[in-house]
Amino acid sequence: MFLGKDVRLSRLVHPTSGRMLAVTVDHPITRGVLPGLVDIRSVMKRVVAGKPDAITMHKGIAEKVFAPYAGQTSIIMKATAYSVHYHPTYDAPVADVEEAVRLGADAISVGCIVGGPDQAGQLTFLGQVSKQAATAGMPLVAHIYPKGALVKDQQDAAALAYAVRAGAELGVDIIKTLWTGSAESFRSVIAACPAIVALAGGEAGETLEDYLRMTREALDVGMGGVTYGRFVWSHPQTAAVIRSLNAMMHQDMGVDGALRAFDQAVEEEKDLGA
């Protein structure tokens, strides 16, 4: 492994826990300009205040919004985009490794939807980016979901194991995928993947406690990271949510401890605003 890749991975993966806590703000192309992301400058400020290890964003947001926070957290530059409305099974290439290097990113992120006719082209692109990233000493993150037309159940453990293993086979360092619904079934997904498996948030719960319980269960069977988005930045106490996740991911707290960390963060924010 090149020194540059080691250095960048050391900024993505927390030195104490060996895990990664990332927040994603790359949703508008995929899901439209959601209410919680309209004012992206405000969102970025609140997310950075929570001190995640990294933030996943597209190149334009990195250039236009991120500069004031350089050095406070890492950029994971997203290099593809799919759309639930217009091309739901095809993650289209929209950036490359050279741009990630120019923007000072610590990783490049590629989406890949497997399990359908569009899989072949996306795997081809993932393999190409893997080669380019390795040459540049750039860690590769991939969001790999079994959402293709031939997949009957997107949360099926076998389908998810196939998805994450495909990424590992092509050299991906950190692979984001979906929750299977239980710790025992998710264990088989992690067992199939020699790369770091990170969990997506999506619509897996309704409350902070729901997501914390899912996170704790996944950690207990070997998960190495999370890349959460909507439930984090749509929460009125965004920074406190991230701090509660930090307590769980990096201090290995249980659900109750993470909820106490949330309450403490909210009180500290009130004191600062007084």
Residue 161 φ then ψ, to 5°: -65, -40
* Average pLDDT over every residue of 147-162: 97
At 41, list the tokens: 């400058």
> For 168-183, what is each residue's pLDDT tens digit?
999 999 999 999 999 9
d(C-alpha 23, C-alpha 198), whole Å: 12
Q: Annotated catalytic residue: which of 26, 91, 118, 156?
A: 26
What is the pairing mode between strands 87-93 and 80-83?
A: antiparallel
Active-site annotation holds for 26: yes
Q: Whose CA is closest to 110, among 87, 91, 136, 132?
A: 91
pLDDT value of position 274: 41
Provide the pLDDT for residue 270: 81
Q: Does the structure show a pLDDT above 60 at 59? A: yes
Q: What is the CATH number of domain 3-273?
A: 3.20.20.70
Task: List the catalytic residue out of 91, 96, 176, 211.
Answer: 176
pLDDT(109) > 50:
yes
Domain boundaries, the chain: 3-273
Put residue 35 in one of left, alpha, beta given phi > 0 → left and psi -120 to 50 → alpha: alpha
In the prediction, which pLDDT does 177 show?
95
pTM value is 0.96
Residue 130 has pLDDT above 80, yes or no: yes
The active-site residue out of 53, 78, 82, 145 is 145
Report the pLDDT value the prediction gives residue 204, as an integer from 0 to 100.
75
The separation between CA 127 and the C-alpha centre of its own chain, rounded to angstroms, equals: 20
Q: Look at residue 271 in the predicted model and tell me its pLDDT.
A: 76
Q: Look at residue 156 in the predicted model and tell me its pLDDT.
A: 97
pLDDT of residue 40: 98
H or E element, residue 78 = strand 74-78
First to last CA, the chain: 49
Separation between Cα atoms, residue 112 and residue 128, nearest integer Å: 13
Average pLDDT of span 14-30: 97
Q: What is the mean pLDDT of residues 155-167?
A: 98
Active site residue 5: no
Distance CA 109, CA 183 (A): 26
> Helix, strand, or coil here: 137?
coil
Average pLDDT over residues 135-154: 97
Give the residue-averaged pLDDT of 154-166.
97
Percentage of residues in the chain having pLDDT higher than 70: 99
Q: What is the pLDDT of residues 37-49, one digit of tens each?
A: 999 999 999 999 9
145 has catalytic annotation: yes
> What is the pLDDT at residue 202?
80
Q: What is the mean pLDDT of residues 216-223?
A: 98
Among 42, 96, 87, 49, smallest CA distance to 65 is for: 42
